[in-house]
Amino acid sequence: MTDELIRDLARIQNYAAGLRGLIDAAQASAPARSRGTDSSGVVSVVIGADGLPRSFRVSQGWPGRLPPESLDKAVAEASQAAMHERLATWSKTLEKHGWQEQADDLRAHPPTQPVEEPQSATNPRSVDAVTEDIIRAFDQVKDIAAARQQTATGTGSDSSGKLTLTLSGTGLVSCEVDARWASTRTATMLMRALGDALAAARADLARPREPAATPDLGALFAEALALLKEGMGK
């Protein structure tokens, strides 16, 4: 029974390491740039490999093609179109390199190389205590990921305060524009305002935040393996 537990823990460690490598490879293959345009053709957005906007373009003579009260929706629509283009290109790249097949193969045949020999603890805890910590750690990881998705945002406005962008770690969340103010702006003025708001939002998103305490699953697995091996030797 103990041998089986050790093999299972080692298999989980190896699978996690292999999956991390696949995820890193997938992230590295993300398109460097993607472009999207709203349905009116007035607003276009370029997003980077991280999915965040890099620049905005507004067509000259825009008021004749897009009502000022729809400008915010056009910015959001163009950003969504850029994201769809990014995902489509990314999916083709992953398919070309057989990423899904590699993921399926990893799931069916986890790496079998031996894990690093764990060091015996000076004051070993019980297997039950370590197991409880591992279960709790997995729950914490899920909670931390969910919390980060909900709270990691950055907001920025132009100098007038009439145009505001909100970003998350994966893209544009919202755009708020004062329609009356926008109706008096030229395309060049709007692009400058969008650029200023974008820079402010990116800076806010990047500002240091109190890091969440992430459980060290690797250390817990090593401790569990050490306890099991010590138990076999008794």
Mean pLDDT of the chain: 79
pLDDT attached to residue 97: 72
Backbone angles phi, psi at 153, to 5 degrees: -135, 160
* Domains of the chain, residue spans: 2-114+153-208
Q: In this model, does residue 219 exceed pLDDT 70?
A: no
Tell me the β-bridge partners of 156.
165
pLDDT attached to residue 209: 66
Q: Of 11, 65, 17, nearest to 38 (Cα)?
A: 65
Hey, is 129 helix, strand or coil? helix
The predicted-structure confidence for 7-60, as pLDDT tens digits, reads as follows 666 666 666 776 677 677 777 777 889 999 999 999 999 999 889 999 999 999
The predicted-structure confidence for 71-82, as pLDDT tens digits, reads as follows 999 999 999 999
The predicted-structure confidence for 141-176, as pLDDT tens digits, reads as follows 555 555 454 468 999 999 999 999 999 988 999 999
pLDDT attached to residue 213: 55
Could you tell me whether strands 43-48 and 53-58 are parallel, antiparallel, or unpaired per DSSP bridges?
antiparallel
pLDDT attached to residue 100: 74
pLDDT attached to residue 120: 47
| Inter-residue contact 55 to 153 (CB < 8 Å) | no
| Inter-residue contact 225 to 115 (CB < 8 Å) | yes
